Structure 1
């Protein structure tokens, strides 16, 4: 749900076409895909991948590769569960479009019709926002705004909706696209208001999972650790691939909590490409599918490896993009330890699902383009190697920057004030409270009200700056500057990784 938008901002220069371009591309899926994926698992250090390709209402390929967890001999199969992150959003948007098709609501109804307590800091925007606005990211917020507060925290859904109303949007209502996870949560919370109290997760299971036969899929993140056939999430910690705890994002469930498998996702994609039908049964109204694919907002342009400059729009829970004279309906998903993609080319009756269990790869995207090019008769470009070159370059730069900071820590530079001057309770108007305590020597430790299992270690860099490492590696590494006025600490700026939230939080000392 999270990281992938940040990763997609990576700019990769145009590459030359390889001699392999002249191979018969129709044979790539059958003859070369297994080798391509197996090689990439090693090169990218991806523990496990599940891939499904459907074409003309049939499964062309469905297979698991690699292992569920690093260090264990437990192969991925077609029923192995991965978190799908923001690919959950298409389920949420489709569910609401189904309710519209069944005359339970209108996507053009005001949000306050169903959630009277819904408010935005821009009062007029809060009064005028319609359900459709929630599902296409046009409330005026910056991408990921508020997500450090909302994502993987102990806040309830109602608390998140209330705090969303306190965020100050940097853009005017409906003037700019900004990816807003809490808006999808809000949309999901409309479902119990129009279904007699059925929760989002209960309705998704009843209206989509069950009739499609998605018997292994889970709507909530809390249920994944209980499953017997599940992957473990992985990330890079100081350059080493490491299994990490499952994220708990059920507070934002309609935006990114679903876990699924290649087998179950094949049923979802087959139904979407067959106008909502499974056999002779109309499981999803055709009108609901069409509603989600209608462009609502302009995202921007995407420069592709082959030199194309493609438009990118947003429907309801789906990105819509042109590519090689084909109209793609697609989305990527990222949560702690997982990245995935779902791609539809309706005019070609083609669907692609790729699931991975590490959040440090762009292979899931490279493989998508490789498969599309094979079906579209385009030259072979080895996207995996080209993405990997850029990925390694950026990783090397980040590691060098981090090493400089760690080397500075080893100099035992003293902070400008005694360590206990920085300790105490701090408050941010949106987030809540945070406390700083003194550890060994001049080190400090931060603990956050809504992240009860997470802490940050602060080591002095001299002056009022501290090098920060989080116990949750997905939050990144940072430098936190404290503000001192008249010899007293007044505040500190807290910054997490951009793929969580791009802006810092100022916490004021009480």
Structure 2
């Protein structure tokens, strides 16, 4: 059991005798008033106890079905710290080592360069030092659903060309966490999802969490993702009755509720609580490895100006930094319509989790700052120079409104491209890792259609001398330029983001298509 917990619903004020909880309620109320999120769940853990927990909003906006503490949210990349914890358990069991060559466990593993294949160790899969572009190959994972398998993802790695030298710098990566999941499966003798349930969920009592395939009726209620459309949140990519396993499970496929996420926080802040027969769930040595700086990162401008951050690094599945001079361990998770945050301040024996079922990067940033500073800016029990929700929200809005904030060009003069304009260029094209797409005439226009990623279907439009893909699905929210190679035989084209600041998972820049056949 977690010990005493204070739980307040959105409709009930905090107890008057507990100013700490009342202050947290005001904080959540302010964020909700500012961003009007479809639903959220927030909890704070101190000294091994849940001192605050609150859920607010609905599973689906307008449904009347309220979010409770067991409602499952996609935690996205917060899954990564669970994957590394699984690997650490296998290290404790003597089944693998961090410096094992990946090919020891996966003989068919290949990177683009042979020497990188030989040198790639298990630890390298986890710290974003591969030399690949940020988000390289993510179009095999998103948008969902698609028809890529985990085997396709791992095979595709050999075709992704590095843009930097191996181990020379940090660039965020998802595909190598999928490889890490397969390393765990090979070393542990069971599928990744089964191992995660056995080695992480079961011993920590996180029984409500789900990973891999499951029936909706066999789980707690599912919070559904929402996107902002015309000033309001609407549900997108809603779940059906059967939830399928996905290739990206080890990188971002876990779903958990607030209750289970507080158990996850407590496992890190109060490890003795999960010892059995005098043996800890994870050894002190491996806990230290997970939180040791493995790859330097450059603090962002916000970190430097808002938190005085001078140190930032990636551990195994965790981001490490100093916040107002105190050690902070954290990670975020982002999928379309789902945002999450876990943060730990070990020296304060405190941590918090935020789960949101809407596109809410700004709200998440505000929560991170105001919840962190409640601990780092306290002196003698009083806040020191504390900034509130409004201060951070206003600062974020000013950044977004700055003249240089948006770099996407004006494409309002677009018009549909006609098949005759692309005579000699229509056909079926193939990229070595993404597979086949068609550029074919459809009803007097030209359609781009991916064979393995059905949502990546759209109309080709002309913007001045250039061609652009206008995607049909609202879920694909980063349009792409198409640039044909001059005098190439066979015809070939590359792609790039219309908006240079679009999510890096729209990995158009790593695509290189060559014509392989006719339409039809």
TM superposition score category, shorter chain reference: 0.7 to 0.9
Distance 2:225 2:428 in 1: 33
1:263 aligns with 2:259: yes
Choose from 101, 125, 128 the match for 1:137.
128
Q: CA deviation at 1:54?
A: 0.4
1:57-136 pair list within 5 angstroms = 57-136=48-127
* 1:205 equivalent among 173, 193, 197: 197
Aligned to 1:312: 312
**Cα distance in 2 for residues equivalent to 1:202 and 1:343:** 26
- Once the two structures are superposed, residues 287-341 of structure 1 have per-residue CA deviations (whole angstroms, 9 ceiling, x without a partner) of 3222211111101123334362432101100011011121111111111211111
Q: Provide the rounded CA distance (Å) in 2 between the counterparts of 1:226 and 1:479.
A: 44
Deviation at 1:203, TM superposition (A): 0.7
- Equivalents in 2 of 1:487, 1:381: separation in Å? 60
2:165 corresponds in structure 1 to 172
What is the alpha-carbon distance in structure 2 between the residues aligned to residue 186 and residue 437 of structure 1? 35
Per the normalisation by structure 1, the TM-score is 0.85
Distance across 2 between alignment mates of 1:94 and 1:486: 49
Asked if 1:382 is matched to 2:374, the reply is no
Q: Distance in 2 between matches of 1:486 and 1:141?
A: 26
3-state SS of paired residue (1:322): strand
Structure 2, unpaired ranges of 5+:
1-16, 379-383
Q: Distance in 2 between matches of 1:129 and 1:255?
A: 18
Distance 2:289 2:110 in 1: 26
1:429 to 429, 432, 447: 432
> Bigger shift: 451-460 or 135-144?
451-460
Contact 1:416/1:463 (CA < 8 Å) preserved in 2?
no
Which moves more between the two structures, 247-256 or 129-138?
Answer: 247-256
What secondary structure does 2:206 align onto?
A: coil
Aligned residues: 480
**1:150 shift after superposition:** 3.7
User: Quick one: structure 1 residues 467 and 393, their matched pair in 2 at CA, closer, same or farther if it must change by over 3 Å?
Assistant: farther
| SS of equivalent to 2:352 | strand
Label 1:396 to 1:471 Cα distance change in 2 as closer, same or farther (>3 A).
Answer: farther
Give the match's secondary structure for 2:322: strand
The structure-2 alpha-carbon separation of the partners of 1:128 and 1:482, relative to structure 1 and needing over 3 Å to count, comes to closer
Given that 1:134 and 1:183 are in contact with CA atoms closer than 8 Å, whether structure 2 keeps it comes out as: yes
Task: Note if contact 2:461-2:469 (Cα within 8 Å) is conserved in structure 1.
Answer: yes
TM-score, normalised with respect to structure 2: 0.84
CA pair 275-446 structure 1, distance change in 2 beyond 3 A: same
CA–CA separation in structure 2 for the residues paired with 1:211 and 1:469? 45
| Higher RCO (C-alpha 8 Å, min separation 6) | 1
SS of 1:358's equivalent in the other structure is: coil
Query: Structure 1, unaligned stretches of length 5 or more?
Result: 1-25
Aligned to 1:23: none
RMSD (Å) for aligned C-alpha atoms: 3.1
Instruction: Report 1:13-412 matches (<5 A).
Output: 29-151=20-142, 152=144, 153-196=146-189, 198-220=190-212, 227-237=219-229, 240-245=232-237, 250-275=246-271, 277-278=273-274, 282-303=280-301, 304=303, 305-306=305-306, 308-376=308-376, 377=378, 378-383=384-389, 386-387=392-393, 390-391=396-397, 394=400, 404-405=410-411, 407-409=412-414, 412=415
How far apart are the structure 1 equivalents of 2:219 and 2:473?
25
CA shift in 2, pair 1:206/1:312, >3 Å? same
Would the aligned equivalents of 1:47 and 1:67 in 2 still touch at CA under 8 Å? yes
Structure 1 range deviating more: 259-268 or 173-182: 173-182
More deviation in 391-400 or 491-500?
Answer: 391-400
CA drift of 1:61 comes to 0.7
Provide closer, same or farther for how the CA distance between residues 213 and 450 of structure 1 changes in structure 2, counting only shifts above 3 A: same
Asked if structure 1 preserves the Cα contact closer than 8 Å seen for 2:458 and 2:469, the reply is: no
How far apart, CA to CA, are the structure 1 residues paired with 2:434 and 2:417? 30
Change (3 A) 1:438 1:491: same
> CA offsets, 1:14-55, max 9 Å, x none?
xxxxxxxxxxxx987422322332332242242111011100
Distance 1:100 1:486 in 2: 51
Measure, in 2, the Cα distance between the counterparts of 1:48 and 1:77.
10
Structure-2 change in CA distance of 1:398 and 1:85 (3 Å): farther
Judge which range, 338-347 or 352-361, deviates more. Answer: 352-361
Between the aligned partners of 1:276 and 1:155, the Cα distance in structure 2 is: 42
